[in-house]
Each structure stands twice: as C-alpha cells, then as structure tokens.
Amino acid sequence: MAAPASDLFYFTSESVSEGHPDKLCDLVSDAIVDECLRQDEHSRVACETACKGNWCAVFGEISSDAKVDFPAVVKQVYKDVGYDDAEYGADYKTLEVEVRISQQSSEIDGAVSKVAEADTGAGDQGLMFGFACNESEELVPLTLLFSHRLVEKLSEVRKSKVLPWLQPDAKSQVTFAYKMEKRVPVPQFADTIVISTQHTPDVSNEVIRQEVIDKVIKAVIPPQYLTEKTKIYVNPSGRFTYGGPKSDAGLTGRKIIVDTYGGWGGHGGGAFSGKDWTKVDRSGSYLARWIAKSLVASKIVDRCLIELSYVIGLAQPISLYVDDFGTSKIPNEELQALVRHNFDMRPGMIASQLDLKKPRFYKTAAYGHFGRTDPSFTWEVPKKLDFSVVKTKWEA
C-alpha cells in the first residue's frame, strides 16, 4: 500500500550525457591522465579542459616521462563521443586544439614525493566525502542511479542507431517520492522523470517523446516505480537541435554533484577528473566511498556518510567522521575504530589497494564515479572487514 501523501518527501538527482560540454571536458582531462599513466605510472597530472564551438583548450601541470600527443588524444575523445559534425556541436576532424601545459610545481612535488611511496603526502589540502545506502544493489540512491542509467541508455541507442536521430548532448533528472522509516528514506515511486536530449531537425516532438519513453525510460526504470502519478517530461523546452559545445561552453569539474551522489550525502567541492592519485580530491573520495560501501555491504549500517580531511604533504588524514544516520548496530566510537582498523588512509596505500596507478579513469568521467559494476572501479568492490576490534555483539 502506498504511503499517505503527508508522509512523503521528494528528492531529485540529475545526470548529463558524455556529449554535454562539461562532461566532454571531463572525458578529455581523464583521457590525458590515462595516457600519461599508460606510459609512466609515476606521472603527476593536474589537467583542465575547456571547450567552445570547434575549439578545445587543454591546460594545467603535468610531470611525466610520457610523450603525449595532446591534440590526437582530444580528437579521439570527440570522435568516441560522436562529435563529427560542427553543425551539431563540433567536428573532431577539424577541431582546433590549444595546449598550455607546464611542469608540476617543484615545491608541491617535494612535499608529496620525497618519501617512500606508502608514505606519499597528500597533494593538496581538502575534505572528501563518501556515501552509501542500501536502497539499491549498487548501494547508491535510486535517484542518482536512474539519472545516470537514463543518459547512458540514450548514448547506447544513439550509437547503435536504434534512435539514429539522437545527438550527443543530453540531460536527465529523476525525482522519487520517499518515506522515512526508522530514520532511513525508503523509495516509494518515481514522481517525475525528465529527459532533455539533442536531436536532428528531421524528427517530430511526438516521435521523440514516444521513442524516448519506450526505448529509454521504460528500459531503465523498473515498472514497480512507474505509477499513474509519475510525470514524464521529454524535451520540455520544445526543440533541441542546437547543442553541445556549439551552444554551451564546457569546463572540467563543473558537474561534481553528478559525479558523486546526486545531492545525497556530502561533497567537499573538489573535482575528480584530470587528476592522478596523489590528488586526494580523487583518491581520498574513492577511499571514502570504499569505506562507506564496505560498511553498508557488511550490514553493520544501513546508511553511511564518511568525511576525511587531508593537509598537503602529510600522509595521514587529519580527521575522520562517520555518520551512520542512527542505523549502526554498534556504538559510533566502535564504528570509527572499525574503520581505522580496516583501512589504510595514506594516499600511497590508497593507490596500492585500489590500483590507481594504472589507466582506468576515462571510464569514470561520464555516468558517475560511484554505483558502477565495471571491475576497474575497484573502490566499488566492498572490502571484507575484520571485526576483531568490535566488542559489541551484533547480527547481520
């Protein structure tokens, strides 16, 4: 039986496709990280990308023995995404690529690299969050999960020519109705689903709406969540033939909530893409997610938020915060002791445990860094925990 309307609250998450200009920039930045690591696993990379029209700029600081053909990497990303016509956004064949790359500061390098790798200091100060909950098999909120899956499905049916009139730029937005049960939000039904997708001029709004509902929305959202109350908007602004970098500038790191938890949990403000593992914005956030997911997977908590904070040059985080949202089966001090006992939080050890010195980051740049099942997302594989430090008796 559905919950009374007075007991419900509504929460929304969004995602964007790989062809969205900001995501395109994230992909370029991470493709460069991967190419550097492919040639030199000791590469230090802080790479930003900006795009507008048929122009793309790559800039930042890189210290590496890798010999990277930056324009070739950028053009390959544009080609993979599907930007092969300047009329619809950009054309990889004629793309103008501007490169402004310098060496990483020797002062930063001295702070993080002049020790044994296990004791590598953090590449910057900052705070990082990890979040997990048991409302999906992937242990992420459904609003986030389905937002990603919708735009991912749009890309799939575009590239397979099932819907050949689709173009690369797209956004999704998913609102669920929730009910609080024992301090935990429990999803009830999909309240609103929004998809805005770029298309060629030769297709009608009616065809776009019906085909997107049939081949994307119904293929992604389980039928038990689609009710007579569910509102569906497809291209609510009308026509969307003018998109991609042609209509909007893009920049690395402007979709950080899309990258993480869709507004649930917390966010320290740092972007992930374009950074190697010494940048704790990335590695610390992956660790925090690994911790949170491992705790929820062990069933010692139903919902968990982890915060870590680091200082440049120091290996150990200066703070650890664990929020169990009142769902822990053991006291919070024991929960923190469990985390410290099971996870080495030094950046060098994060890189070793999660295998972050190998190319794997291009895949992360679109459709979320969390809630993925690809084996290269090592932080998504829960760790089997050693509970020997836990004194309180509990049952899974």
Catalytic residue of the set 255, 282, 303, 346: 255
Catalytic residue of the set 153, 275, 293, 346: 275
pLDDT, averaged across the chain: 94
Mean pLDDT of 216-227: 97
Query: Which amino acid appears at position 251 of this protein?
Result: L
Distance CA 251, CA 269 (A): 15
Question: Contact 370/304 with Cβ under 8 angstroms?
Answer: no
pLDDT score of 2 more than 60: no
3-state secondary structure of 325: coil
Catalytic residue of the set 11, 14, 18, 23: 23
Tens of pLDDT, residue by residue over 269-301, are 999 999 999 999 999 999 999 999 999 999 999
Q: Is residue 281 annotated as part of the catalytic site, yes or no?
A: yes
Closest CA to 269 of 279, 287, 283, 254: 254
Counting DSSP H helices and E strands in the chain, the numbers are 10, 13
- Tell which wins on pLDDT, 121 or 220: 220
Query: Can you read off the two tokens belonging to residue 72?
Result: 């070739």
Q: Is residue 333 annotated as part of the catalytic site, yes or no?
A: no
Q: Count the alpha carbons within 13 Å of 65 in the hemisphere toward its beta carbon.
A: 5
Rounded alpha-carbon distances, angstroms, from residue 47 to 63, 83, 113: 11, 22, 19
pLDDT score of 259 more than 60: yes
pLDDT score of 1 more than 50: no
Write a three-state SS string for 88-154: HCEECCCCEEEEEEECCCHHHHHHHHCCCHHHCCECCCEEEEEEEECCCCCCCCHHHHHHHHHHHHH
Distance CA 228, CA 335 (A): 42
